[in-house]
Structure 1
Amino acid sequence: MNAARKDPKPLHRRSALAGEAGRASRFVEDALATPEQADSAAFFDVDNTIMQGASIFHLAWGLYQRDFFTTREILGAVWKQAYFRLAGVEDPEHIAEARASALQFIAGHTVAELHEVGQEIFEERMADRIWPGTKALAQMHRDQGQRVWLVTAAPQDIAEVIAARLGLTGAMGTVVESVDGVYTGRLVGEMLHGPEKAVAVAALAEREGLDLARCSAYSDSFNDLPMLSLVGDPCAINPDHRLRAHARAQGWRVRDYRTGRKAARAGLLTGAVGGAVAGAVTAGIALRGRRR
């Protein structure tokens, strides 16, 4: 009986001490919190950098499951993009048509609808595909008081959902025209891909008073070399072979969070769905999936 009466006291003391230690730790962390750095920021690509695979693939698949587009719309987009990709046609009019059709699958739907559905799709298809290592790097910048932006070819609205869910500052993505809150499917400006990312980052830096020499940028793709070369601290994340070679030659940081097999598959996927062809390829995959 005496032993039974004595046991709770040490447990109680240990619990109290643990509580005090936790409060002390939080106090120290708050006291050491770094003020926001007004002149620096970090810029992260999304596909295969923040997230495994292509965000537009996951978005298109989720929208397809919700009957956002028809088989006829898919076939039309697939034909345009496949011809553009496989034939290697460089005719300006055809390129413009291919780019304009890349995000046709959200035409006719409202901005509010895509935002709501985008939250669901993030939980269903994207949350578990976030690379923990890259997420930790983004959080490191946030802990240092830096703003962190996503820069992606995916639609601006879904990019903002991803940024918000990860606790980041914001996102820059491809802007799809809307009239009275309804998407037309037409792009406003160019897709945010390749050199366009560098243009967007430079414009943001000028607007926000950022010193690009003190900024960081992260990407997996050689196509993002203009953005990576714009900042003082570039880093290749899960890089394709061309970016890996360039990063090593320049002495840039390289981080790879994949296994060898995953790295090979991701490289193939990036080539298949990168840039302007991403929307149509995802639609084609979805169509094949339904027919099986």
Structure 2
Amino acid sequence: MTLAIFDLDNTLLSGDSDYEWGRFLVELGVVDAETYEAANRAFYEQYKAGTLDIREFCRFAFRPLASHDLATLEGWRSRFLAERVEPLVLPAAEALLARHRDDGDTLMIITATNRFITAPIAERLGVPHLLATEPELRDGRYTGELAGVPCFQEGKVLRLETWLKEHGETLAGSWFYSDSHNDIPLLERVDHPVVVDGDVKLTDHAQEKGWPMISLRYV
């Protein structure tokens, strides 16, 4: 089995689904607009700078999940997917997924964004395997706590290693596509690292390493 692994936000999507979900909650009026939007933006800037405390962010991001019942959350999510995520889907990204699918590769999305948001996006893109940050779900309701290792930076490597062991697979011949310098630890581990519309830090690193760089936005 050859794995073709993809980051989600700003790679397969032309935006960040986690950040957009926060903005969507503000627009719904279910969180305090001023304080939540300011915190959401600050965390996003920390992510881009590589200084994000992922556990602190999870406590922030999971609070609205814990404050509402699952049926309400799922209703909001359906609207969010149609109104905010669908316009972010890149035709070139879908073509890239199709090419790997036609080559017989096993498709996986690996993302720091939590599973509540990303599971239906992976399904929409036809990607059967998803590794994402896991919000704890107990008795049909989110607790606001993090379950397991967050799928971020080195955590992506740890989560993938666990998945490989569980499935008796290796990274032989593997691909990984990402835009973010936060993913350098995993890009270093695969046979075929590919930078997609990379940020400045990742682009500089890729040039030093001789990694290929592509765009799924400007094609």
TM-score range relative to shorter protein: 0.7 to 0.9
**Is 2:62 the counterpart of 1:103?**
yes
- Runs of 4 or more off by more than 6 Å in structure 1? none
Given that 1:159 and 1:172 are in contact with CA atoms closer than 8 Å, whether structure 2 keeps it comes out as no
Q: CA deviation at 1:208?
A: 1.8
Question: Aligned equivalents of 1:231 and 1:160: distance in 2?
Answer: 24
Q: Deviations over 1:167-212 (max 9, x none)?
A: 1113111111122111121111343211111111122122222220
Counterpart among 59, 83, 89 of residue 21 in structure 2: 59
**Is 2:203 the counterpart of 1:241?**
no
Partner of 1:158: 117
Counting only pairs closer than 5 Å after superposition, residues 92-241 of structure 1 correspond to structure 2 as 97=56, 99-241=58-200
Please, which runs of 5 or more residues in structure 1 have no aligned partner? 1-38, 260-292
TM-score of the aligned structures, taking structure 1 as reference length: 0.64
Q: CA deviation at 1:95?
A: 7.9
Question: Aligned equivalents of 1:158 and 1:169: distance in 2?
Answer: 15
Distance 1:119 1:252, change over 3 A: same
Question: Aligned equivalents of 2:190 and 2:86: distance in 1?
Answer: 28
Say how many residue pairs are matched.
212
The structure whose residues are more often strand, as a share, is: 2
Distance 1:48 1:72, change over 3 A: closer
Given that 2:92 and 2:217 are in contact with CA atoms closer than 8 Å, whether structure 1 keeps it comes out as no
Please, which runs of 5 or more residues in structure 2 have no aligned partner? none
Specify the structure having the higher radius of gyration (Cα): 1
The structure whose residues are more often helix, as a share, is: 1
TM-score of the aligned structures, taking structure 2 as reference length: 0.84
Given that 1:150 and 1:159 are in contact with CA atoms closer than 8 Å, whether structure 2 keeps it comes out as no
Question: Aligned equivalents of 2:168 and 2:145: distance in 1?
Answer: 31
SS in 2 for 1:47: helix
Question: Aligned equivalents of 2:104 and 2:185: distance in 1?
Answer: 25
> In angstroms, what is the RMSD of aligned CA positions?
2.8
